[in-house]
Structure 1
Amino acid sequence: MLTAVAAQLVCVAALLGIAVLAVALSRAKAATALVYGATLIVCALALIGALRALLAGTGADEIVLPIGLPWLGAHFRLDALAAFFLAVVNLGGAIASLYALGYGRHEHAPQRVLPFFPAFLAGMNLVVLADDAFSYLLCWEFMSLASWALVMTHHREPGNARAGYVYLLMASFGTLALLLAFGLLAGPAGDYGFAAIRAMPHAPGEATMVLILMLLGAGSKAGLVPLHVWLPLAHPAAPSHVSALMSGVMTKVAVYGFIRVVFDLLGPPNWTASVLVLSLGGVTAVMGILYALLEKDLKRLLAYSTIENIGIIFVCLGLALAFQANNQTLAASLALTAALFHVFNHSLFKSLLFFGAGAVLVSTGARDMDKLGGLIHRMPVTSVVFLIGCVAIAALPPFNGFVSEWLMFQAVLLSPSLPQWGLKIMVPAIGALLALAAALAAACFVKAYGVSFLSRPRSEAAANAQEVDHFSLAAMVILASLCLFAGIFPGLVIDALSPVTQQILDSRLGAQSHLPWLSIIPIAERRGSYNGLLVLVFIAISASLGYLAIRRFSSHAVRRGPAWGCGFSDAVPQAQYSPDSFAQPLRRVFGTLLFAAREHVEMPPPGSVKPARFSVEIHDLVWETLYGRIAGAVDTASKRLDRWQLLTIRGYLSLVFATLVTLLLVLAIWS
């Protein structure tokens, strides 16, 4: 009988086999159904295996394969941490495959997607299972290259080639940072197995360097500011089911890498490590949602929102590091549970929202919210499930997003017990940033839903939209149901996460699923409790009573008139609230400082028949001040080095001789 880790590797091999089969069948008519159907089955089996390993809590299961480095082999390990992230990866993969059974029929170049989709899933599974540095980095690169190929699916569309180029650059930079981090972890002995690294002592300076390199390596893949520049370019360029995997799942694989190294391999942390993680997380959360608020491209808005949620996760991880460094294990367990809960939640509602954006794109051919509107009448099921995703990501009860953010704020409220004054002051400040981010997230998704689905259609395509296929709807309904389930029964999720916190922190929260009325009490009842089921019942009763009261006492007369537009008749749909006008107050508050936003008004003189024009100029200061200057310097240096291509044979030989002498001198000085 196969062991648990061997069964997971068999599923990975099956996914790779499907990728090879997709190459042979990519031109066949039935290829889409066969590839996505087979991927759905394999991911479902891998999900079942991961959940069994997570809930059983039987410890680690390891296997060594005779491949990789000759003296090391390829080590793979399945423990509670890996099992949880495998469940996230394969749940996302299974539902994305179900969605793609319908969405994939509209793909113009399926041969550019089908081989890489199962390969991408296989790469993410292998990264989570890898138990030595060489295997981890090899699988990380495989995952990055497969996802890059998917980003380049529609390479002929404007901007997509640039998106793929930037993504490849950032992925290479992240891999370099990870390579350096694992080199420091392995030390002079050069033992790259995770078991040896885990048992090795690490000096404080070395641990700090590894933390910084992991923030660069894993943070660039996750989307931490200022390493986020690839994310709003690559996510919209990829097909929607791939965007859901990249945003909802691949970023979590990066979070897994950070947790594996910083919490597991590095050993007990110093409290100063938490300061850097908290700072980056707080800035990322606020900047990500501000970027999203200013967007009118639906998929780019969702991509920027991912940056905000990654910031929330890293704030929770920073809190866990702070509490762990001060031996406050219960508080650390609460913060780590909040981080893992939000990892799971974000994989659900962000996949749901990307699926909804894909349905809108298929039905209307548009991602620009200026060309949408009125879809609630044309796409009723999509509008309902998209609304559920918006409510969940805005952290409103009774859906799952509220629970993980509530747990995070419960951890923030425990910060006065920290002995360091720097953390006593910093953590409440970060909590205030998160409260601001939560309020802005609600405003952002009011804009996204209201402009896209409510009001009147702003284009013929939106007016003639139709509901999408049953496979796509089924995938979205499943995710919406899971968002509600995790919000009503959060105790079940918290208890499922307990083996992970037990493994990482040697502590766990108390059992929650057996508490009366399905409440959750993470620390103590006097500090706070939550009951999602009672909140749902209260909302249902209040809404029902309000509906009955309105039906009973309101007038039943019908009066129709023109649409109201802030005091005047709204003559044309284009005069409705637009994404830019909705964001104008917030843009004026935050945009001038953070985005160098400028508004330009061209008002013709009286009597002129020329139209008035209003335009907004927004700058990405991170790109222009950091990456733009680096790109400019590289371009300048490359032009100056062009003359080296025109050397004579004598010149090239002289250059080789000078390089050899220089290297020998460096070696002599070094030794």
Structure 2
Amino acid sequence: MTSLSVILSCVVMFLLTGALGVLMGRSHRATPAIYGLCLLPSAIAFATSLMHLATSIVDAPTLVLPIGLPWLGAHFRLDALSSFFLLVANLGSLLSSLYGLGYGRHEHAPHRVLPFFPAFIAGMILVLLADDAFTFLISWEFMSLASWALVMAHHRNADNRRAGYLYIVMASFGTLTLLLAFGLLAGPKGAYGFATMRAAEHAPLTAGLVLILLLLGAGSKAGLVPLHVWLPLAHPAGPSHVSALMSGIMTKIAIYGFIRITFDLLGTSMWWSGLIVLMLGAGTAAFGILHALMERDLKRLLAYSTIENIGVIFVSLGLALAFKADGMGLAAALALTAALFHVLNHSFFKSLLFFGAGAVLTATGARDMEKLGGLIHHMPITSFTFLVGCVSISALPPFNGFASEWLVFQAILQSPDLPQWALKIAVPAVGGLLALSAALAAACFIKAFGITFLGRPRTASADEVAEVDHFSLAAMCVLAGLCLLTGILPGAIIDGVSPVVFSLVGERMPRQMDIPWLSIVPIAESRSSYNGLLVFLFIAVSASATIFIVHRYASRTLRRSAAWDCGFPESSPSTQYTAGSFAQPVRRVFGTLALRARERVDMPAPGDLRPATFSVEQQDLIWEGLYVPITGAVGFAAEKLNRLQFLSIRRYLSLVFLALVFLLLVLALWS
């Protein structure tokens, strides 16, 4: 039995588990049964994809099933690229299922989640295995519909209904643009198989149109600005383990679609395509983290942070496209390795952070950081694992976020060798913007951890909490360990993804595990190197020595004094820093231009007993500048086209005839 057949069997198991969720309905045994059954196919598919990636460098088994289009069938293929993303997807689904065993017991309506959770995982796996356009689009739409059902699980909430509506509209738009992109790749002969597309020659104009359509289709699913508007609404709307799947895994499926088409099916690349992707990625990173820093809703903050990390990945992909177009194979391999490494890392720490947010929500019933605080005393394990996620996503050594973002900057440093002046100027500017985004990310997650877990409880619900269940803690601890392990041993990951990189750009980075002391050397030792293990040992030894010296040699004289109160003798929790006050300096620097932030202070006159009030107004310029006019235009057009419902039969026939003539003209000109 081939690896491909095993993974397709796992898809069948997921679908049968979803059907069992429908049959079990509201049974109290449904939650442990469904999530427990999801563990098995997730583990099997993960192990199979890992073995295939590790042992099958060239082998890419295929399978054709007699379903789908009659003349085409359904083609499936398992190559190095699919194996890597299957590894990411199935590890995420495995840990989400484990987390769901505990978290799912607190769901108000589990029967609205359980049937669609395994179906969602099955849809993502089918996208990664599809080897023809029809199967890809059907799987893509199935994935979108299953995730939409999970977003709408708590549909009685008006915000969730709005999020679901916006998500399904953007998902339909994305599928339409991907359909058009595949139509251009297939050509007038309708060659919808990926193998035929891969072997065909594509004109520069066709390649450019496909890239634009792909950025609209895959970019909308990934959360690329300005197509991001659904993401900060939809990702927090579902249960927390579903949010982890959507932010940590589903966005990577969109990145897979982008890589599959641009690097594999299109074949040749143009330098200007790399410039477009690069600039969009940089803008996405800066926009996402700036909005995340302004948020006080913990899950919305994490959703906006996903947008920032998607921007980092697209910057790396844009660099890889530019380097590949200019024949700089080693630099292209470095940039693509950085992108794939960050794909894996983001799936780890973003899933961990959403799990932590879910634990906080379970314990306190609140997502608003202004209502939290002091949780570290009652939830020490959740606090520690969430801190690991915060340090990782802030790209601080020795955790994994630093390793992949360091590789991105090493790829940026190769830009002086590019021949185009547009790239010579743009890439360093993008590097500066990424550095700013990294600094803002650190500030953002200092706020997220500090306001949520440190200080004093701001409400009674934050003061009367307990640690969450063991299943949830186990999932978080595994992810925290993976964040550290991949940070101190990045060479193993770089070598692991080298078959993927070689299959796409024809080059690979030097083997890293052969380098002494487990260092990683992207280009040459004379330029730069990094050793995560030594950094980890240095931090551990330094911290241990400091603790020992302080406890061994500090004065044992006991002195008691009042704690420093920062000049505020009032002990009320309201005197603490809030999420809004923490973000105020950044808001005053960037918010006026980027968010049109306005601060309003109502200070009563002397003698007036009214309380003073302070409020902040922020605007999403992309929503108001792009989507509001579009929705207005659509509404106006719909009102005018409504007259078509009341035409006579002769006018209907005339309209159909004119539409047929127009389509025939298009077909004649295209062919």
> Which residue identity lines up with residue 10 of structure 2 in the other structure?
C
3-state SS in 1 of match to 2:27? coil
3-state SS in 2 of match to 1:159? helix
CA distance in 2, matches of 1:667, 1:509: 49
Counterpart in 1 of 2:560? 559
Counterpart in 1 of 2:423? 423
Residues 335/191 of structure 1: CA separation in 2 closer, same or farther (3 Å cut)? same
1:17 lines up with 2:16 in the alignment: yes
CA distance in 1, matches of 2:113, 2:561: 49
Counterpart in 1 of 2:45? 46
3-state SS in 1 of match to 2:521? coil
CA distance in 2, matches of 1:554, 1:159: 57
Counterpart in 2 of 1:666? 662
Contact 1:334 1:407 in 2 (8 A): yes
> Which residue identity lines up with residue 553 of structure 1 in the other structure?
A
> Which residue identity lines up with residue 7 of structure 1 in the other structure?
V
Residues 422/607 of structure 1: CA separation in 2 closer, same or farther (3 Å cut)? same
Give the Å deviation of 1:544.
Answer: 1.7
1:209-264 per-residue CA deviation (whole Å, 9 max, x = no partner) reads: 10111111000000000000000000111100000000000000000000000000
Give the Å deviation of 1:422.
Answer: 1.1
TM-score by length of 1: 0.97
Counterpart in 1 of 2:319? 319
Contact 2:374 2:453 in 1 (8 A): yes
Give the Å deviation of 1:8.
Answer: 0.8
Residues 194/594 of structure 1: CA separation in 2 closer, same or farther (3 Å cut)? same
> Which residue identity lines up with residue 55 of structure 1 in the other structure?
A
Counterpart in 1 of 2:95? 95
Residues 71/661 of structure 1: CA separation in 2 closer, same or farther (3 Å cut)? closer
CA distance in 2, matches of 1:270, 1:289: 30
1:350 lines up with 2:350 in the alignment: yes
CA distance in 2, matches of 1:513, 1:593: 47
1:165-215 per-residue CA deviation (whole Å, 9 max, x = no partner) reads: 000000001001100000000011111000000000000011011011111
CA distance in 1, matches of 2:504, 2:643: 55
Counterpart in 1 of 2:148? 148
Indicate the larger mover: 295-304 or 31-40.
31-40
Residues 68/412 of structure 1: CA separation in 2 closer, same or farther (3 Å cut)? same
Give the Å deviation of 1:631.
Answer: 1.3
CA distance in 2, matches of 1:190, 1:316: 33
Contact 1:562 1:570 in 2 (8 A): no
CA distance in 2, matches of 1:103, 1:444: 26
> Which residue identity lines up with residue 346 of structure 2 in the other structure?
H
1:211-610 to structure 2, matched below 5 A, reads: 211-551=211-551, 552-554=553-555, 556-561=557-562, 564-565=565-566, 567-610=567-610
Counterpart in 2 of 1:139? 139
1:522-549 per-residue CA deviation (whole Å, 9 max, x = no partner) reads: 2111111111111011101111222233
CA distance in 1, matches of 2:229, 2:401: 25
Residues 173/558 of structure 1: CA separation in 2 closer, same or farther (3 Å cut)? farther
Contact 1:385 1:477 in 2 (8 A): yes
CA distance in 1, matches of 2:218, 2:189: 25
The CA RMSD over aligned residues, in Å, is 1.3
> Which residue identity lines up with residue 81 of structure 1 in the other structure?
L
Counterpart in 1 of 2:623? 623
> Which residue identity lines up with residue 120 of structure 2 in the other structure?
F
1:5 lines up with 2:4 in the alignment: yes
3-state SS in 1 of match to 2:158? coil
1:652 lines up with 2:652 in the alignment: no
> Which residue identity lines up with residue 404 of structure 2 in the other structure?
S
Give the Å deviation of 1:506.
Answer: 1.5
CA distance in 2, matches of 1:668, 1:156: 47
> Which residue identity lines up with residue 651 of structure 2 in the other structure?
L
Indicate the larger mover: 554-563 or 59-68.
554-563
> Which residue identity lines up with residue 66 of structure 2 in the other structure?
P
3-state SS in 2 of match to 1:236? coil
Give the Å deviation of 1:513.
Answer: 1.4
> Which residue identity lines up with residue 6 of structure 1 in the other structure?
S
Residue-pair matches, total: 665
3-state SS in 1 of match to 2:236? helix
CA distance in 2, matches of 1:58, 1:107: 45
3-state SS in 1 of match to 2:599? strand
Counterpart in 1 of 2:172? 172
Residues 560/137 of structure 1: CA separation in 2 closer, same or farther (3 Å cut)? farther
Give the Å deviation of 1:105.
Answer: 0.3
3-state SS in 1 of match to 2:296? coil
> Which residue identity lines up with residue 36 of structure 2 in the other structure?
G
CA distance in 2, matches of 1:667, 1:450: 60
Give the Å deviation of 1:442.
Answer: 0.2
Identity value in percent: 63
CA distance in 2, matches of 1:554, 1:585: 39
1:196 lines up with 2:173 in the alignment: no
Give the Å deviation of 1:568.
Answer: 2.2
Contact 2:568 2:575 in 1 (8 A): no
Residues 665/96 of structure 1: CA separation in 2 closer, same or farther (3 Å cut)? closer
Give the Å deviation of 1:569.
Answer: 2.2
CA distance in 1, matches of 2:174, 2:66: 28
Contact 1:563 1:569 in 2 (8 A): no
Contact 1:563 1:570 in 2 (8 A): no
CA distance in 2, matches of 1:275, 1:398: 31
1:45-89 per-residue CA deviation (whole Å, 9 max, x = no partner) reads: 100000001001242111111111111110000000000000000
Contact 1:563 1:571 in 2 (8 A): no
Residues 556/76 of structure 1: CA separation in 2 closer, same or farther (3 Å cut)? farther
TM-score by length of 2: 0.97
1:475-509 per-residue CA deviation (whole Å, 9 max, x = no partner) reads: 00000000000001111111100110111112111
Residues 554/81 of structure 1: CA separation in 2 closer, same or farther (3 Å cut)? farther
Note the residue ranges of structure 1 that are not aligned, 5 or more in a row.
none
Residues 471/500 of structure 1: CA separation in 2 closer, same or farther (3 Å cut)? same
CA distance in 2, matches of 1:48, 1:115: 24
CA distance in 2, matches of 1:643, 1:10: 51
CA distance in 2, matches of 1:124, 1:515: 36
3-state SS in 2 of match to 1:616? strand
CA distance in 1, matches of 2:116, 2:479: 24
Residues 573/139 of structure 1: CA separation in 2 closer, same or farther (3 Å cut)? same
CA distance in 1, matches of 2:153, 2:478: 27
CA distance in 2, matches of 1:215, 1:59: 30
3-state SS in 2 of match to 1:512? coil
Give the Å deviation of 1:94.
Answer: 0.1
Residues 644/601 of structure 1: CA separation in 2 closer, same or farther (3 Å cut)? same
> Which residue identity lines up with residue 19 of structure 1 in the other structure?
G
CA distance in 1, matches of 2:659, 2:99: 56
Contact 1:570 1:576 in 2 (8 A): no
Give the Å deviation of 1:558.
Answer: 4.6
> Which residue identity lines up with residue 3 of structure 1 in the other structure?
T
Contact 2:293 2:444 in 1 (8 A): yes
